[in-house]
Amino acid sequence: MASMMFTDCSSISSSLLHVNGRRGAILFRHCVGQLRLRSTASARGCSISIRCSSSPSSATSIDGKAVAKTIRDEITVDVSRMKESIGVVPGLAVILVGDRKDSATYVRNKKKACESVGIKSLEVRLAEDCSEEQVLKSISCFNDDPSIHGILVQLPLPSHMDEQNILNAVSIEKDVDGFHPLNIGRLAMRGREPLFVPCTPKGCIELLHRYNVEIKGKRAVVIGRSNIVGMPAALLLQREDATVSIIHSRTKNPEEITREADIIIAAVGQPNMVRGSWIKPGAVIIDVGINPVDDPNAPRGYRLVGDVCYEEACQIASAITPVPGGVGPMTIAMLLSNTLISAKRIHNFE
């Protein structure tokens, strides 16, 4: 399937009339109602009310910002408990190669997030033209540093570097991004446990858990199969006993397949690709996409949209993450969570 740009999904009413002759489908949209969090360790003591609009045309908005805040508060408590009990502060090292503005912004945000929960962060900046050996040397130093519990190499790396080689060099015990092939391999195998799960897919599943969305036995469709989002998201859903289909750029009938899904995770990088007509009534949608589209009325001349046409999806789905404010804040929260998990494991702290 050719790559397409889907920047506009403004004509909601007219597109609804063409939902494959299922205009009445929205009547089946169920209301999730007032839910309490599952009493898992990660959800301890918290509750979230899912908004249930009386309007038949508005899905529950899955508030990633609020969930991420709850998780960060939980992490703050655990970090200070750890410091007080055994005098250990979790530490995250970030390696940034080159001077891509977007990468620098992501690294800055990660450092700020660490500070906000009491995690120590260290940053190494290397020049765009540095050698692969220099990057490997920094990784090796952090692998040996007992005050560092997580190592993150900001991607993408400059083209002259072998990404695989570099990611493989991160100690599996400190691989808080979860990209080490051993961690991914364990994620894929039944009966094996990865030490870390990649942050964005972990955040997607955490949102489903915290909103009490049942996964077991459900039909799930993941759109996108990248190593960092789509593929691990599909593996995670499968581990939770969903029946999973993966859609990619060569899939012939993406709309038809997606329409079968109770749960959709979209990680494509194509603005508004998933239209209302792709969605089964009552489906739950996690939209990972972050796509800038021109908007002369926006202060910066652009705005961010997801891979799913939010306005149309809202009328058919039962719940959906907004962009921004959905998966994005969860990714950083899961990085902090992975760093804390690592420090706890290394110091055998419950």
Task: Specify whether 129 is catalytic.
Answer: no
Of 32-40, 180-188, 223-231, 341-349: span binding ligand NDP (CB under 6 A): 223-231
Q: Which of 152, 176, 289, 320 binds ligand NDP (CB under 6 A)?
A: 289
Instruction: Encode burial over 4-34: b for 16+ CB neighbours within 10 A, e otherwise.
Output: eebeebeebeebbeebeebeebbeebebbee
Nearer to ligand NDP, 59 or 268 (CB): 268
Q: Is 281 in the site for ligand NDP (CB under 6 A)?
A: no
Please identify which residue in 60, 121, 138, 200 interacts with ligand NDP, judged by CB under 6 A: 200
Alpha carbon distances (Å) from 91 to 135, 206, 347: 19, 23, 12
Q: Provide DSSP, 280-336.
A: -TT-EEEE---EEEE-TTSTTSEEEE-SB-HHHHHTT-SEE--SSSSHHHHHHHHHH
- The one catalytic residue in 63, 78, 175, 177 is 177
- Give the Cα separation of 132 and 332 in Å (integer): 27
**149, 186, 225, 259: which one contacts ligand NDP (CB under 6 A)?**
225
Q: Compose the 36-75 pattern: x for residues touching ligand NDP by CB under 6 A, - for all others.
A: ----------------------------------------
Considering only 34-42, 53-61, 141-149, 285-293, which stretch makes contact with ligand NDP by CB under 6 A?
285-293
Minimum distance from CB of 56 to ligand NDP (Å)? 29
Fill in the per-residue mask, 250 to 269: x = in contact with ligand NDP (CB under 6 A), - = not in contact. Answer: xx--x------------xxx
Distance CA 175, CA 165 (A): 14
- Max CA-CA distance within the chain? 63
Give the integer Cα–Cα distance in Å for 346 and 350.
Answer: 11
Residue choice 61, 154, 183, 331 for contact with ligand NDP (CB under 6 A): 331
Q: Is the sign of the CA dihedral 153, 155, 160, 166 positive or negative?
A: positive
**Which one of residues 4, 17, 127, 182 is an interface residue with ligand NDP (CB under 6 A)?**
4
Total residues found in the chain within this entry:
350
Determine which residue in the list 121, 187, 328, 337 makes contact with ligand NDP, applying CB under 6 A. Answer: 328
Does position 153 interact with ligand NDP (CB under 6 A)? The reply is: no
Site string for ligand NDP, 229-248 (x = CB under 6 A): xx----------------xx
- According to the binding rule CB under 6 A, does residue 101 interact with ligand NDP? no
Annotated active-site residue in 154, 270, 280, 287: 154
177 part of the active site: yes
Return the range that interacts with ligand NDP (CB under 6 A); candidates 65-73, 93-101, 162-170, 286-294: 286-294
CA distance 102 to 155: 10
E strands, the chain, where? Answer: 60-61, 91-97, 120-126, 150-153, 219-223, 243-247, 263-266, 284-287, 291-294, 302-305, 319-320
Please report how close the Cβ of residue 4 comes to ligand NDP at its closest, in angstroms: 6
CB 320 within 8 A of CB 276: no
Compute how many other C-beta atoms are within 10 angstroms of the C-beta atom of residue 158.
16
Say how many residues touch ligand NDP, by CB under 6 A. Answer: 28
Q: Does 216 bind ligand NDP (CB under 6 A)?
A: no
Q: Tally Cβ neighbours within 10 Å of residue 39.
A: 9
Residues that bind ligand NDP (CB under 6 A): 1, 3-4, 200, 223-226, 228-230, 247-251, 254, 267-270, 288-291, 327-328, 331
Task: List active site positions.
Answer: 110, 154, 177
